[in-house]
Structure 1
Amino acid sequence: MEPFRKINLKVLERTVVALLASTFLFSAAVECGRDAVGGGVAALESGCRAHRVSLTEFGGVGDGVTSNTEAFRAAVGHLEGASGGGLLYVPAGRWVTGPFNLTSHFTLFLDKDAVLLATTDFDEWPIIDPLPSYGRGRDLSGGRYSNLIMGSNLTDVIITGNNGTIDGQGKVWWDKFHSKELNSTRGYLLELMYSDHVLISNLTFVNSMAWNVHPVYCSNVIVSGITILAPTDSPNTDGINPDSCSGVRIEDCYIVSGDDCIAIKSGWDQYGIKVGLPSEHIVIRRLTCISPTSAVIALGSEMSGGIRNVRAEDITAINSESGVRIKTAIGRGNYVKDVYVRRMNLYTMKWVFWMTGNYGSHPDDMWDPKAIPEVKEIHYSDVVAENVTMAGKLEGIEGAPFKNICISNVTAQVVQSKKPIWNCTYVEGVTSSVSPTPCEALPDKGQACAFPDDRLPVEDVNFCGC
């Protein structure tokens, strides 16, 4: 009998990388490999990278102890500028790493049994500049700790896998945050800045230091099929936060967090007004959320670049504080407008609808008291809610009421409580077929709320095989 031949692990690993990579392509729905017409999202043959390497080729050790920061940096550096793009494969194992940057025309692919572990060695976390539209860190003034996975001014980037895991090991950060031992703002698991054509899919993010996924100043971003998990009492572990981004699609995601499951933002007070980049043309669909102390979908509170044209549908939430929450304040300026939400199923909520013009935290004392935000054209329809404390808490701004609010076809089962069923101040709008009966500021006019018939370009992007 012929003896077993010794397997060349590097050859086998390269074969696995090639097979996995060949199954992924991010391209326009018009036709794979062709641009979408009419200014749509360009086709990206991102899964078919010409160059594919494994982390182990650059000294990576997946033992859960060894730092792989330099291995990640070396691997990305090796693929930077590669003709035909590059894919970095992270095989099964527990890969400890500090912060590293991605590059353009690049795919980061995690094996189903790969766990990328954020290092708990604080010496590996440099302090970086605050975002221009915030002027300071969110936790504290000054700079902020680096994010784990980063990139700036990139195009054609994919972060994906066979549901591999990115673990922020956040408890050490949460403990230091609660005990006020940190001198700078916590970083995030994934932050891409000034980047175009980004896909984040088929991964699990757990125990982030703070926010999980943060595209900022980006365009044409798709987040699909990811899971985000954090203890519901963990501080500021927002799920997905598109920030001053245009053309975003979030779909088929499951989020359990200690803060908003999705928070759409666009900068903080005078800093956001100066940068002036709105979050716009955003689609959210088939989202499941658990967040007992925060919103399923929040708009703001940092919205000083403006938020417009947001469409959300087919939303399920269990044990969350509010379904949709609009958060703004005097000093924010700009607008939240043209928001359309339909088909929400909510179970155990404090508020079904919540909006406030008095969310008054400011980055410093230089904010403009004349910067009054405008909130208008907010449309909610086809909502069923059970075990609710209040149907709605709608609080606009004196002298600048929230206008053109429409709520239709809503049934909320309100539990017995000393709180009012509806609380409305400085709001104007209409309702239709809403139970329990809304406040006088929202009279029943018998008209269904609008939801746009047109499609946004980012909706017509499909995943295709090579």
Structure 2
Amino acid sequence: MTTTHRFLSLVFSALAPFAATAQTTSPYSWTNLPKVTQPAFRKDTITILAHGAKPDGVTLSTKAINAAILACSQKGGGVVLVPAGLWMTGPIELKSNVNLHLKKAATLLFTTDKSQYALVEGTYEGKRAARNQSPISGVNLENVAITGQGIVDGNGDVWRAVHKSQLTESQWKEKVESGGVLKDDGKTWYPSEQFKRASTENRSMLLTAGKQPQDFADMKDFLRPNLLVLTSCKKVLLEGVTFQNSPAWCLHPLMCQDLTIRNVTTKNPEYAHNGDGMDIESCKNFLIEGCTLDVGDDAICIKSGKDEEGRKRGMPTENGVIRNNTVYNGHGGFVVGSEMSGGARNIFVYNCTFMGTDKGLRFKSVRGRGGVVEHIYAKDIYMKNIAQEAIFFDMYYFVKFATDGERDERPVVNEGTPVFRNMRFENIVCSGATKGVFVRGLPEMPISNITMEKLVLQTDKGVELIDASGIRFKQVQLITKSTKPVILVDNSNNLTFDSIQYDPQASLLFSINGERSQAIEVKNTDVAKAQTKAEFNKGALEKNLILSSIK
């Protein structure tokens, strides 16, 4: 038996348990999308003015706002009205059957007095952690909403560190003069000495065995809260409101069911570290539509816990519809991962526009996460000026490769092996990106069974497939600046390229690399236009490129 055959035998035997449990089809389709139950509220209205809140931007109205919400809930629910005004407040706790409604010109401005935010048990990137209390939170609620045309402002600048390179000269000068402290090299601004010490010492905020939130009091300033966290809630509605300037993530529904986010704006500065727009974590039945996002990290992000803790929770993010959204700045327009250890499935993304994001459709994970991500469908996605890749899969998130560029290629599959499979993308248009499609799986668990159809990609480079299996391209137009090669294949198999258009002056159409690159079929494509049809390197064999139905 050859080395190649021994390797493939190990891989296929390792894949067997996953293949046996694979869901080859989703219970949903484009004509049968997941349904989301909407909350309903009584018409009774209580205004926060009646409980002593003042719209002067100075008076702390925390007690008044929370009293109005509690009174409304205790009377059977209804609407708590926030009239026009600038309402300074500390943390707000939502209650069941209450719709917190912000009138136009109403702003909830959260205080910069950090003593108002208690240390509590929360999560950080999918794991139990000490955090400051979120400006808005709710636990185990049902029928809850924030609606209207007002603004929720987290005053996040007082919580965040920022690097000098992220600001203009005048912005940096203003930041330094505002207080805080600088890193020893003078290139990073911290809100306080306590924040600096926790950051430079790389202190953990995780709640390991025997640790309580109060044990982290000496690094409290470092424990930035998410702006809104709703945990284990049912029938949730966020509609019309602008959520901005968060200390960390803007919106974080966690283990919620029947969630609707409609016509919401999330806005964070470009330099906002962890400044995600929406992180939908371990939620079931959700709708995100008509939203506008302009943020400092991932925009619309799907998560489900991290590593062993996420696998033990075992709650996938599932049955979602994401449509009619516009994303401006962000690390990714639609993102899955990297904390996806509980899995994700049955998610439909369509009629979305990404304008200037780092990446477009972004999927990321790493060895150790585990979890299965499947039945993700995207169509009618329009992108412009994407800084990096339009469509991106990478199972080496934050992995630093050895200096020689070699990757760990041990064919080992266990509970920590991430699985990404069974997806379909169609009618994707991108005008401007570094790469059109980048797929990098694991040797022991390739990215598998992905169909991409009707793509028009104007990019610097075309397609790169590394450790991928069962990838199908049909009716794809690659308008690339670099034409050597247009398509790179590295240790990938069972690939189909059907009706591919490319630059007629291309110097090299295919670069096929690695002895595991097999069963690569090209059809309905004029391969003769390229100066060189294909080159084969690192053990790849010419016989494994199958040309059929060639124009």
Matched, 1:331 2:368: yes
Matched, 1:158 2:145: yes
Where do 1:318-397 residues align within 5 Å? 318-349=355-386, 350-360=388-398, 370-397=415-442
- The amino acid of 2:137's aligned partner reads M
From 195, 198, 214, the counterpart of 2:236:
198
TM-score of the superposition, structure 1-length normalised?
0.79
What is the deviation of 1:269? Answer: 0.6
Contact 2:36 2:286 in 1 (8 A): no
* Distance (Å, rounded) in 1 between the aligned partners of 2:298 and 2:35: 30
Structure 2 residue aligned with 1:135: 127
Structure 1 residue aligned with 2:454: 409
Where do 1:115-194 residues align within 5 Å? 115-131=107-123, 134-137=126-129, 143-161=130-148, 163-175=149-161, 179=190, 180-181=195-196, 183=219, 184-194=222-232
- The amino acid of 1:107's aligned partner reads N
For 1:76-104, what per-residue CA distance to the aligned partner results, in whole angstroms no more than 9, with x for missing partners? 22122323x22110111111111121111
Secondary structure (helix, strand or coil) at the match of 2:95 reads: coil
Secondary structure (helix, strand or coil) at the match of 2:280 reads: coil
* Distance (Å, rounded) in 2 between the aligned partners of 1:232 and 1:252: 21
* Distance (Å, rounded) in 2 between the aligned partners of 1:446 and 1:387: 22
Matched, 1:296 2:341: no
* Distance (Å, rounded) in 2 between the aligned partners of 1:411 and 1:204: 33
The structure with the larger Rg is 2
Contact 2:318 2:344 in 1 (8 A): yes
Q: In structure 1, list runs of 5 or more residues that go unmatched.
A: 1-38, 138-142, 362-367, 448-466
What is the deviation of 1:136? Answer: 3.4
Contact 2:38 2:260 in 1 (8 A): no
* Distance (Å, rounded) in 1 between the aligned partners of 2:66 and 2:79: 13
Structure 2 residue aligned with 1:92: 84
Contact 1:133 1:271 in 2 (8 A): no
TM-score of the superposition, structure 2-length normalised?
0.68
- The amino acid of 1:443's aligned partner reads T
What is the deviation of 1:343? Answer: 0.6
Aligned pairs, number: 389
* Distance (Å, rounded) in 2 between the aligned partners of 1:132 and 1:205: 20
What is the deviation of 1:234? Answer: 1.5
Change (3 A) 1:438 1:246: farther
Structure 1 residue aligned with 2:535: none
* Distance (Å, rounded) in 2 between the aligned partners of 1:132 and 1:233: 19
Structure 2 residue aligned with 1:263: 301
| Greater per-residue helix proportion | 2
Where do 1:414-429 residues align within 5 Å? 414-415=459-460, 420-428=461-469, 429=471
**Root-mean-square deviation over aligned CA pairs:** 2.1
Matched, 1:430 2:472: yes
Dislocated runs of 4+, deviation >2 Å: 39-45, 130-137, 175-185, 420-423, 437-443
* Distance (Å, rounded) in 1 between the aligned partners of 2:304 and 2:445: 21
Matched, 1:245 2:286: no
Change (3 A) 1:136 1:153: closer
* Distance (Å, rounded) in 2 between the aligned partners of 1:356 and 1:43: 35
**Greater relative contact order structure (CA < 8 Å, 6+ sep):** 1
What is the deviation of 1:250? Answer: 0.1
Contact 1:81 1:104 in 2 (8 A): no
